[in-house]
Structure 1
Amino acid sequence: MAKSKKRQEETSSSTKSLQPVLVFDGQDDAVNLGKKPAFKIEKEITLEAWICVTSQKAYAGIVSNIYDTGSTESGYGLLLDGTSGIYFGLKVPSTVIQYLSSGANTIILNQWHHIAGTYDGQEMKLYVDGIEKAKKAIAGNNINYNPENDLLFGMYKDNDEFHAFAGKIAEIRLWKITRTQQEIQDNLSQRLAGNESGLVGYWPLNEGSNNITHDRTSNSNHGTITGASWAQSDLPIAQEQPQGLSEPATAPPNVAPSPSTTPDEQFIPVESSGELSEPATAPPNVAPTPQRSVASGTPTTPNPETAQPIPPVALQGRQMVLVLDDKHQGISAGSGALKLQGNFTIEAWVYPATDTGKQVIFAEGETLFYLEGGKLKFQTPLATEAIASTQTIGPKSWYHVAVIRAGSRPGATKLYINGVHNDNQIAIPAVVSSGNTYLGGHPEVPESRFQGKLLEVRVWRYGRSLSEIEANWLYPLTGRELGLVRYWPLDEKLGTTLYDKTTNQAVGTFSDAVWEEVKIPLKLKLDPQEVLVRSTGLEDYGYWFREIAKQQKTEADPPFRRGRIWA
């Protein structure tokens, strides 16, 4: 018993730090991960989670795909037992569904506990804070999934009832192996890498914002949050930086910034030898997102074998978009979008209808930005091979894709999918020849038609940082943004002409495509603060001071320094 007390003391105090966790209200909050092949574990299984319970309720789901109507039973899960304990539920064909309890008062309310349930085909075991609390012999061939139920966090739900969890949840892990007590104890207070042997699902639940929980394994079975909220809590686990999609940092809406003493020239890109020596920056009164340098030649991505999974994006608005089929010939859109020997960034939102074949997103002459076999690729005429993403993107989902070229060394050209750096770090030579610009295909590249939906194609004359991309990837642009040289929103809604909203006016024309109203990942109706945060193209101090002063409803304009506007 002394050993158990020592283990609990170590768990509760040795590694505590304030970290983002997900909070469930016990009413209707949940995370839904749906039905996925990876969740149908055949026999050996381990479930783990960190929980802080605020009120006890029998059968309140922590992580569960249990279906139990009395006459029909299936699945597995960790649930509350209603007596300050935990249930490990499991259905095998040889018996009715079993609920193994950790015992009364094994969970203390408003205190963090690590819980785990294991099954090896012969015996169920239940652990609290790394200590075995209960076990039961249950022989069975396989876990039963008929009927198959959605995997939920924070709720147990089937066709005739639901039981919601009240409290905080973090660090959910799903294994297709039976972990030993020692293995559970060894890393219950540490974050995982996501590539551990036997791990089929890993949700740290530490994003801190947005409505997506990310699976850090290569299975990328992300979940959608309904109702649950983010909060900071003293979690007894080693801290790491959240890896989800970051929100652009914003200035407080009711505080006007002090005039900067930084020279004007710091915020003006200077061209040298045909390239921009400094990337454009956010307006001086908007706090930038922490930089994860894209313009640097130093690779910032780990080994491709441990690349971060691609997170999904939430759909926010609805509008008419261009739908390309397998009969169109691409969209001709002028020429000269890419500066010879220069750096650049190309961005677009894509919704591929298929993951087969080569599908050109943007092309200029022999320079191609495209999908092939579900992988994102980029190649210039002098490149012996294309730089390619290490992970594939599936059809019938929206993805933000970007290529940033900031030099010719390995790692200086980068590919991003939904804000995640993902490529094989191939060196890409500069663009040395120009040609016609095409969107959605190239008439001189056989079978290169993009099939699906295209949106928001943007070309910049420098290598943007990831924080700069994230600052406006979810908003339409004005066309006057600093360093923007081509911008096709593809939002015309009708006709066969696409307009470039920059001053270059590189108009595109097409045929054999249709317009369709669909849900998109862009936010079309902005609140006043988002209007301020979004880049406007009017990059001078006076504009920003006046706008924030209006929001404060001050009687007089505050003084401001002279700024400069670059087209």
Structure 2
Amino acid sequence: MIQSVRIYGAGTLFAAIFSMLFLTSCGDDSTTDPIPNPTTGEIQGTVTEAITGDPVAGVTVVTDPPSQVVTTDAEGKFSISSALPNQYRVLASKVGYLPNSVDIQVIAGKVATADIMIRGDGKTDALEFDGTDDMVVVPDSPELDLSDSSFTLEFYALAHSFRTGGGDRWNSVLGHGPDNSELDFLLGFESAKPMFYVRSYGSGMVGKTLLETEKWYHIAAVQDVSTNKLFIYVNGVLDSESILKGTPVTTSADLFIGARESFGSGNGAHFFDGILYEVRLWNRARSASEIQETMKQPLLGNEANLVGYWPMSDGTGGEAADKTSSGNAGVLKGGGLWVEIDSPFQ
């Protein structure tokens, strides 16, 4: 028996009837919201000791671009959730170990694996030069042409010997431009002291610190066009400074590591006798505190203003990789040797 009649608009009546029929046939589950499409991914990995393969607990793991900072568990495992789709560099570090990193791609809804090996004995690889004909040649590119701008050069060097006699007292480590009117910069050692010349020798100086053989030194040289000054730092401490003079030059020459180019011939000269590690080139003037902050750690390769980064720790092959986006790998010439060393970071 119908007890009452209610009149609805056509749309409202249809909705009411549909709702009653649907709920009666399907039950409450029909109201569950659909699962949204995933918009982030996850990074998982294990950190192990490079020699033994044992998992390493308590390792700090960070990403660049930044997402989360996590620590490995007792089994060396870590997980970073809610990582936005992107290309990441994942860096693992712990006191007593050499840091290391891997590059990964995170895809939405997927797990990216980032297994990392770190060395606990303080050992790493570097490149040894014989002082006769060994060098690394990096093809010229716009990132290397810095004569009219501020820049910073850095490297670690352990010299087996220094040339000290007469006109042959130069030991070149970084040379861009031939030994003529096209020299952009030259950094190395004159006798056993650091030397830095720019703008076809229009400006430059020899440092004050007398260096020893078979000992690691961190050398940095800075050209600051805002103050018209040149600086040399040894182990992060200011060694000497000079006035920047001369006219900026333009060169299409290659960058030489472990030597300099001889008068536009493409051949090397004034070769360095020793081991080189962590060669860095920045397109701005770095301060003493900035140099000190990063001199005892590897870089990611995408730091602001870093335009060339050759760790020289490849360990094998005929190239020295550039870990910046510039990708200016250097070619080994003359027979340089990859050698295992005690890291100067320690």
Smaller-chain TM-score bracket: 0.5 to 0.7
Query: Which of residues 196, 203, 215 in structure 2 aligns to 1:88?
Result: 196
Please point out which of 144, 167, 176 is paired with 1:65.
Answer: 176
Name the TM-score, length of structure 2 as normaliser: 0.59
Give the match for residue 245 of structure 1.
none
Match in the other structure for 1:229: 337
8 Å CA contact 2:203, 2:245 repeated in 1:
no
1:186–1:103 CA distance, 2 compared to 1 (3 A)? same
1:113 matched to 2:220 = no
Which position in structure 1 is the counterpart of 2:204? 99
Q: Is the 8 A contact 1:74 1:148 kept in 2?
A: no
Per the alignment, residue 123 of structure 1 pairs with 229
Residue in 1 that maps onto 2:157 = 51
1:79 equivalent in structure 2: 188
State the alpha-carbon separation in 1 of the partners of residues 262 and 255 from structure 2.
11
Query: Residue 126 of structure 1 aligns to which amino acid in structure 2?
Result: I
Aligned mates of 1:14, 1:186 — CA distance in 2:
18
Aligned partner of residue 62 in structure 1, secondary structure: strand
1:40 to 136, 145, 148: 145
Give the counterpart letter for 2:337 in structure 1. Answer: S
Q: CA deviation at 1:78?
A: 1.1
Tell me how far apart the structure 2 counterparts of residues 139 and 157 of structure 1 sit (CA, whole Å): 22
1-side partners of 2:241 and 2:178: how far apart? Answer: 22
- 1:235-254 matches, cutoff 5 A: 235-237=343-345
Secondary structure of the structure 1 residue equivalent to 2:343: strand
Q: What's the CA shift for 1:236? A: 1.6
Q: How does 1:82-481 map to 2 (within 5 A)?
A: 82=191, 84-91=192-199, 96-105=201-210, 107-121=211-225, 122-139=228-245, 143-145=248-250, 147-159=251-263, 162-226=269-333, 227-237=335-345
CA deviation vs aligned residue, 1:95-150 (integer Å, no higher than 9, x gap): x5333111251x2210111000001110000000001000001146x6312x4321
Cα-to-partner distance string for 1:208-230 (whole Å, 9 max, x where unaligned): 00011111000100011111010
Q: SS in structure 2 opposite 1:74? A: coil
Structure 1 residues 104 and 185, CA, compared in 2 at 3 Å: closer, same or farther?
closer
Structure 1 letter corresponding to 2:135? A
How far residue 59 of structure 1 moved from its aligned partner, in angstroms, is 2.1
Tell whether the 8 Å contact from 1:80 to 1:86 is kept in structure 2 after alignment: yes
**8 Å CA contact 2:204, 2:230 repeated in 1:** no
Pairing partner for 1:29 from 129, 134, 137:
134
Which residue type is aligned with residue 235 of structure 1?
Answer: S
**Long gaps (5+) in structure 1:** 1-12, 239-567
Shift of 1:14: 11
After superposition, the C-alpha distances for 1:430-468 in whole angstroms (9 at most, x for unaligned) are: xxxxxxxxxxxxxxxxxxxxxxxxxxxxxxxxxxxxxxx
Question: Structure 2 CA distance, aligned partners of 1:37 and 1:165?
Answer: 26
Name the one with the larger strand percent: 2
Instruction: Evaluate the alpha carbon distance shift between residue 207 and residue 14 of structure 1 in structure 2; reply closer, same or farther with a 3 A threshold.
Output: closer
Say if 1:73 and 1:97, in contact at 8 Å, map to a contact too. no
Question: What amino acid does structure 2 have at the position aligned with 1:103?
Answer: K
CA contact (8 A) 2:204 2:242 kept: no
AA paired with 1:55?
A: S
Distance (whole Å) between structure 2 residues aligned to residue 174 and residue 200 of structure 1? 6
Distance 2:248 2:97 in 1: 37
- Provide the rounded CA distance (Å) in 2 between the counterparts of 1:230 and 1:176: 28
Poorly superposed stretches of 4+, deviation over 6 Å? 13-16
Rg larger for: 2
- Residue 103 of structure 2 is matched in structure 1 by none
Q: How big is the shift at 1:60?
A: 1.9
1 CA distance for matches of 2:255 and 2:218? Answer: 20
Deviation digits for residues 360-409 of structure 1 (CA, Å, limit 9, x no counterpart): xxxxxxxxxxxxxxxxxxxxxxxxxxxxxxxxxxxxxxxxxxxxxxxxxx
- Letter of the aligned partner of 1:163 in structure 2? H
1:167 Cα deviation after fit = 0.1
**Distance in 1 separating the partners of 2:97 and 2:186:** 29
Q: Percent identity?
A: 28
Mapped to 2, the partners of 1:143 and 1:115 lie a distance apart of: 23
Q: Whole-Å Cα distance in 1 between the matches of residues 289 and 248 of structure 2? A: 24
CA distance in 2, matches of 1:213, 1:78: 19
Preserved contact between residue 201 and residue 221 of structure 1 (Cα < 8 Å)? yes
Q: TM-score, normalised by structure 1?
A: 0.37
Give unmatched runs, 5+ long, in structure 2.
Answer: 1-95, 99-120, 164-168
Q: Is the 8 A contact 1:50 1:169 kept in 2?
A: yes
Q: Distance in 2 between matches of 1:128 and 1:219?
A: 27
Amino acid at match of 1:184: I
Q: Counterparts of 1:191 and 1:18 in 2: how far apart (Å)? A: 14
Matched residue pairs, number?
A: 217
Q: Deviations over 1:21-63 (max 9, x none)?
A: 0000000000000211110023101000000011102222111
